[in-house]
Structure 1
């Protein structure tokens, strides 16, 4: 019957991917195979097994292996099996007199599903460097590692392999992401034509073959003309063929044999290079006459492949690290400029040169609010709306990159000459705004080892199939409509830039827009601001929790670390908002952290410097830095004992920068930290990153010394004429911390308190604070109604009222409590000054969330004091 054209049309270059090459049911001519069950009964044998066992297959099948092999051989094989897991490689025995008849064999043992497969090969002598495989590999790797460049390393690898194995041609074949590959290094006999630089299509090595190359790292084909040997029976009683994926003697696919014959190759050997569990490349060894390597030599080369995979991975990682470090330096410089200028989205085009230095391109565009600004070689403005609509279909908040835009966006064919590749960074969600990098078309000539699509159709007993191509002469293909690909390091740089713009820059622009529209959109803007702040707070809290856990030794220690850092931020926030976001003194920032953490040891910290006012926007940064310095000193430094002291001195230097010197003395001997924790990162990187300043920390035996440099734009000197007046935050305190606490404890002792709070966790936290500070009884309520019932039926001494109780406020409780003479304090989560109703006494105090125990107790104490006057 003449096959129809339809059958031919259905064939394509991927048909080879479906060939079950691991279940061919044959072994190569040099091998012998015995498959046994888990209870050591022979299930399958190779048809040539009589050559070593003296019995035909029919006489062996179903027989216990112990009746065929001596007890010593059984013991050796069982020992090797002890080292194996199912489907996890094979164990080898070299030069064993397995039958006790003086004939030596190399043996490989592995487990395949429910069978144990034992393979035998007659031992072949090969020189292995004084008979020691380890010495041979060590010598080869030593020579290879002396190579200075990656290309030189590749060339030395193939040279060493050719010298050791004696094959006519040794190639290093590297795969691309598409599955095709290229010869990147080659060593060969001088009479042979070079394949160096030639490309091979993905279809030359089918997908299932790639999987086997990962599982079975070496593969020998000693003679393409030799007849393979059948495994009998072909299937088990369930009708399933034997899985030979991990077999060392497994026969070769007829299609691959035909491929090698078409190349004129008589024998081949391959060594897999696996990096990150992926097939990165192959060493392909070709010989133009039959050539066999012993199992011991093949095992040695398998070890070489594993070691050289690590060497190549290390070299590639080092190269990537150098590239990424350079990109990071550019990124930091670019982001530093962005932070300093805080541009709007529309003004980002002014940073085109910086962005193009970070991500090289031929054209750059900023698309914002349905308007485009371009620099360099880009599509025309009329093309941009269509491109952005295409980008809008991509995943939100992810960069998108392609080096062949026309393959996914057909209209790009109209401007391929101007832009063939695209990388887009989304910088907002709604509307979608983008930074877009374009690369022009590069017309490239690719040299293939023969036409990749030249696989004729042949008809056999199983119908039509694609055969390997018969020509391997160099064939050139001209590739158009593509740009230079975007590298992995460029994609990482793009992602880092996206995060920086969203988290560092756009918040300023969004805030500016909110302020501009405040008069007409106040309610909407308040909601947007709330969402924005909550996201930032949650992100910051998550970062503090994740980064702080490594330095905590216990749950209590972890709680203390987190609580301290959160309170440091809260104190800085209070200092800002209490004076309507005005500048505050440097002294107050440092003194607040000292008083909050070290208590009575505050007298051992000496502050000295001119009246420096710090910009409000730098408060959080400085608060966290000095919080970490104070806590470190209290844990490990001068404040960790009863003798040490700290001198903190600041001055304005000749460059108009504020230099702060931190010097500890008199404490225990200091040792540099053994590891770098999150606290150290905050100290060393916050001021340079957020303020553009400098930080250096030195760990002297006598005490820690630190130097912090604030740039001129982050501070100024107060008016010298008023320098004798205390600056904000510099007022003296009449009582020491211990004296104040003693007084508070005395006033709260035995008191009954009411907490009105709709959040159970906050309510429980406040309740514990009151009980810990002497209160005898604490009652709680979640609503005004419930609180009134308690006030009317109980005797109370003091009350704590959360302003916002969900659908109502606690202001209605003020007259009831005042009538009964119960002093009270409000708690609020609002950042601005609390607007109290007219019926509430102006002297009633309000504290802000999050509050620490000392803040809460001090506020209640003041309320109790006012009530006794």
Structure 2
């Protein structure tokens, strides 16, 4: 049968065409026009052929380019998009709204007719009101229903649907708001082929997508490809043209305009807010921005409700785990105890029956297959991965004999509770025969003409399919709860099978079984835990730690172990660099503290046996520093020095400076114990902690068998060390930043502090900057360097720069105008950098400017 698998390979991110409701110009890093849409003449009066290869300043006012370059400084990551309102590209041109993003080495600018201010205010007010109402709505059904209604009111589309992706990538309309004349799509299911894989990937990168008119003739990009033969990547473009297959799909549905807003929960595409209109409809940038914000806030509210449900479920599981010791104490045998415990599982997992298979015997409660079927099923389960939860909601599809008892137990959740021989707790769910309403026959997703041309289906009438032999699906929450309970059961089995040893070595055996379990299941369990544990809050801990705080700290440590294991398992459990631990742990904190950690000395490879121990120590050092030490304040620094001694052991020193005054703790917490005792105990190394008032200093020795010096660094380590060891002249301790954009000024401050500057002064006007220079001169000190923005709104920094020149204070310019700005003759040779700047360009500027004096 013809299918739409070819759609998964269609390069929809590089169509080379654009919708006509806007104009696109792409420029290189030096602001030479590299691409333009063929309708650019309606914006600037020049054709695409006229402007490509020329500086953009030849066609657009320089103050507009300055504004755009300033806004580029705010972009973060490859998928960031910035927007500007009411821009006049030429003196007589009407106002435009502009969006900008980065595509490989190009800055992509998209211009649209500007929205009226009153319209913008009204739409923002509507979004605020809708979000306030949604935030107090409880229940998924009501939440989605209200969200669909609010989105329709905000955008004006004829139909708005909340579309949720299922486990098999099909999707179902779970909420709908529409005009009365339209056929309802509520509860219809759409096959996965309706939204190809690459389209779902783009929905993660670009959270809003408008198709203004399915009959839009579109315009082309000029040129089609760059000199390297590559087309412009339009993944983030709001104007990107639409796949012809999707256009035909919409026409078959009777849709003239559509818009999709991504629902992203915990980094994954949960679903879409899908909007349809029976006539062409162009939403301006202001309305699309409001719709995008609504989608983001709805995603957060949805995530919050799901987390509340998970927390409640976790509490139920914890209560069940806590009750196990009492159940075990009253049982006469191991299998009776396991059966008694397992009977409680049915309410947690919504099961219909439970079977315990232990030491070759089985016992059951509720609705289950017969004993012979259970024996055969266990042999099948023995072939699955060891020490892992196994779940299926369609036993007959994976185990042919299972069809015989699918009516009683179509769904199986298996918890292995021993290593060899295999013992299991089996939770069963009965068959859930149900009718699925498909939007058209899912077995005929396409049609073809003469066996050549593939087209999407034309029928969207409800197609009923009766699903049999399946139970309700097991959720990720079910799997997580099963994993949590299994650990408790393993402890219980150990206690029942060897009570005497348990009493003598209780604490040791608990630790050993948990460590053994983690080692066997590190690839799955730690990966799962890492994905579920939320980032810790950087608040000081009280002397009496609450249960919630304890769980938070424990979670962060397990997360650190997961990161460490990820690094060594990526290279087949072989040695991995020390710098990787440091970089990963520092980057796990928000605020970019990695830029304030300097690494000196040669990197080392750590053996897997030492990696987890060192990772925990680094984790505790970073955590303590970020909460209480040098990294808890912007000016704080950490220096990590790596070396070797005469025995070829690895030495590393952690030294903090610039933070709060340090006092030796009155008591040792678990974190301090990890820092001081882990390396000596686990690796037979050494650890020495000094609580100097100026900052904590920690010295460690790791035996040579666990660490090897890297003689030839690969590119990744070279890049890391290059960044961390980037330096500026030692004479520069105090820097003045004159910048009227607060975000850019903060960016400059962060970079300068990362370059070991002691103090950064920020001024937004020449008057404020002069007051800093004058007042500092009175105390016997001086400004060592000044970083000046050229344009400060109603004034420039040139007069102040000449004043600094007369005082002999080094300075340099950072300008959104790039090299095109006209500088007075006395300042023509002053070093300058173009915005957006980075650590490397500022470091180079400081070195060059001070060297010229």
Q: Secondary structure at the match of 2:334?
A: coil
Change (3 A) 1:510 1:276: same
Question: Aligned runs of 1:276-315 on 2, under 5 Å?
Answer: 276-315=266-305
User: How far apart in 1 are the matches of 2:455 and 2:285?
Assistant: 31
Change (3 A) 1:552 1:341: same
For the 8 Å contact 1:346–1:366, the answer to whether it is kept is no
Equivalence for 2:27: 36
User: How far apart in 2 are the matches of 1:182 and 1:300?
Assistant: 25
For the 8 Å contact 2:316–2:348, the answer to whether it is kept is no
Q: TM-score, normalised to structure 1's length?
A: 0.58
CA deviations over 1:541-568 (Å, ceiling 9, x no partner): 999xxx9x98899xxxxxxxxxxxxxxx
Unpaired stretches in structure 2, ≥5 consecutive residues: 518-535, 545-666, 672-680, 688-853
Equivalence for 1:509: 496
CA deviations over 1:454-506 (Å, ceiling 9, x no partner): 2334369xx94532111111111111110122233333332222111111x21
CA deviations over 1:385-428 (Å, ceiling 9, x no partner): 32112211222222211111112112212222222110111111
For the 8 Å contact 2:127–2:154, the answer to whether it is kept is no
1:455 equivalenced with 2:445 (yes/no): yes
Change (3 A) 1:194 1:126: farther
Q: Secondary structure at the match of 1:91?
A: strand
Task: State the 1:13 CA deviation.
Answer: 3.5
Equivalence for 2:478: 490
Q: Secondary structure at the match of 2:26?
A: strand
User: How far apart in 1 are the matches of 2:76 and 2:686?
Assistant: 54
CA deviations over 1:112-160 (Å, ceiling 9, x no partner): 0011111111224486464573x33321211222323332221221111
User: How far apart in 1 are the matches of 2:19 and 2:230?
Assistant: 21
Equivalence for 2:432: 442
User: How far apart in 1 are the matches of 2:234 and 2:121?
Assistant: 33
Change (3 A) 1:351 1:676: farther
For the 8 Å contact 2:353–2:428, the answer to whether it is kept is yes
1:536 equivalenced with 2:510 (yes/no): yes
CA deviations over 1:354-379 (Å, ceiling 9, x no partner): 23233332222111222222233222
For the 8 Å contact 2:44–2:89, the answer to whether it is kept is no
User: How far apart in 1 are the matches of 2:408 and 2:47?
Assistant: 73
For the 8 Å contact 1:551–1:677, the answer to whether it is kept is no
Question: Aligned runs of 1:161-240 on 2, under 5 Å?
Answer: 161-240=151-230
Equivalence for 2:104: 113
For the 8 Å contact 2:321–2:488, the answer to whether it is kept is no
1:251 equivalenced with 2:230 (yes/no): no
For the 8 Å contact 1:109–1:119, the answer to whether it is kept is yes
For the 8 Å contact 1:87–1:246, the answer to whether it is kept is no
Equivalence for 1:631: none
Task: State the 1:347 CA deviation.
Answer: 4.8
Equivalence for 1:469: 457
For the 8 Å contact 1:263–1:470, the answer to whether it is kept is yes
1:409 equivalenced with 2:399 (yes/no): yes
CA deviations over 1:618-653 (Å, ceiling 9, x no partner): xxxxxxxxxxxxxxxxxxxxxxxxxxxxxxxxxxxx
For the 8 Å contact 1:126–1:297, the answer to whether it is kept is no
1:394 equivalenced with 2:384 (yes/no): yes
Q: Which runs of 4+ in 1 moved over 6 A?
A: 528-533, 539-543, 549-553, 675-679, 759-765
Equivalence for 1:264: 254
Question: Aligned runs of 1:411-810 on 2, under 5 Å?
Answer: 411-458=401-448, 464=452, 466-503=454-491, 505-511=492-498, 535-536=509-510, 538=512
Using the TM superposition, name which of 284-293 and 118-127 deviates more. Answer: 118-127
Question: Aligned runs of 1:783-862 on 2, under 5 Å?
Answer: none
For the 8 Å contact 2:331–2:337, the answer to whether it is kept is no
For the 8 Å contact 2:193–2:445, the answer to whether it is kept is no
For the 8 Å contact 1:180–1:200, the answer to whether it is kept is yes
CA deviations over 1:29-72 (Å, ceiling 9, x no partner): 11211111111111111111122222222221211111111112
Q: Secondary structure at the match of 1:291?
A: coil
Q: Secondary structure at the match of 2:431?
A: coil
| Corresponding residue to 2:339 among 349, 367, 386 | 349
Change (3 A) 1:39 1:459: farther
User: How far apart in 1 are the matches of 2:349 and 2:123?
Assistant: 50
1:53 equivalenced with 2:44 (yes/no): yes
Task: State the 1:206 CA deviation.
Answer: 1.0
| Corresponding residue to 1:377 among 364, 367, 375 | 367
User: How far apart in 1 are the matches of 2:350 and 2:394?
Assistant: 17
CA deviations over 1:669-723 (Å, ceiling 9, x no partner): xxxxxx99889xxxxxxxxxxxxxxxxxxxxxxxxxxxxxxxxxxxxxxxxxxxx
User: How far apart in 2 are the matches of 1:760 and 1:103?
Assistant: 71
Change (3 A) 1:247 1:764: closer
For the 8 Å contact 2:343–2:354, the answer to whether it is kept is no
User: How far apart in 1 are the matches of 2:78 and 2:685?
Assistant: 58
Structure of greater relative contact order (alpha carbons < 8 Å, 6+ residues apart): 2
User: How far apart in 2 are the matches of 1:88 and 1:760?
Assistant: 43
1:337 equivalenced with 2:327 (yes/no): yes
Task: State the 1:247 CA deviation.
Answer: 0.5
Change (3 A) 1:342 1:271: farther
For the 8 Å contact 1:456–1:466, the answer to whether it is kept is yes
For the 8 Å contact 1:455–1:466, the answer to whether it is kept is no
User: How far apart in 1 are the matches of 2:378 and 2:396?
Assistant: 14
For the 8 Å contact 2:390–2:415, the answer to whether it is kept is yes
CA deviations over 1:263-282 (Å, ceiling 9, x no partner): 00001111111111111111
Change (3 A) 1:368 1:226: same
| Corresponding residue to 1:321 among 266, 286, 311 | 311
User: How far apart in 1 are the matches of 2:434 and 2:63?
Assistant: 63
CA deviations over 1:822-844 (Å, ceiling 9, x no partner): xxxxxxxxxxxxxxxxxxxxxxx
For the 8 Å contact 2:8–2:198, the answer to whether it is kept is yes
Question: How many aligned positions are there?
Answer: 537
| Corresponding residue to 1:79 among 70, 76, 87 | 70
Equivalence for 1:96: 87
User: How far apart in 2 are the matches of 1:450 and 1:45?
Assistant: 41
Q: Secondary structure at the match of 2:228?
A: coil
Q: Secondary structure at the match of 1:22?
A: coil
Q: TM-score, normalised to structure 2's length?
A: 0.59
Task: State the 1:342 CA deviation.
Answer: 7.3
Q: Secondary structure at the match of 2:311?
A: helix
Q: Secondary structure at the match of 2:344?
A: helix
Change (3 A) 1:760 1:408: closer
User: How far apart in 2 are the matches of 1:676 and 1:270?
Assistant: 54
Q: Secondary structure at the match of 2:498?
A: helix
Change (3 A) 1:761 1:61: closer
User: How far apart in 1 are the matches of 2:362 and 2:515?
Assistant: 37
| Larger gyration radius, structure 1 or structure 2 | 1
User: How far apart in 2 are the matches of 1:188 and 1:132?
Assistant: 20
For the 8 Å contact 2:154–2:291, the answer to whether it is kept is no
Task: State the 1:319 CA deviation.
Answer: 2.3
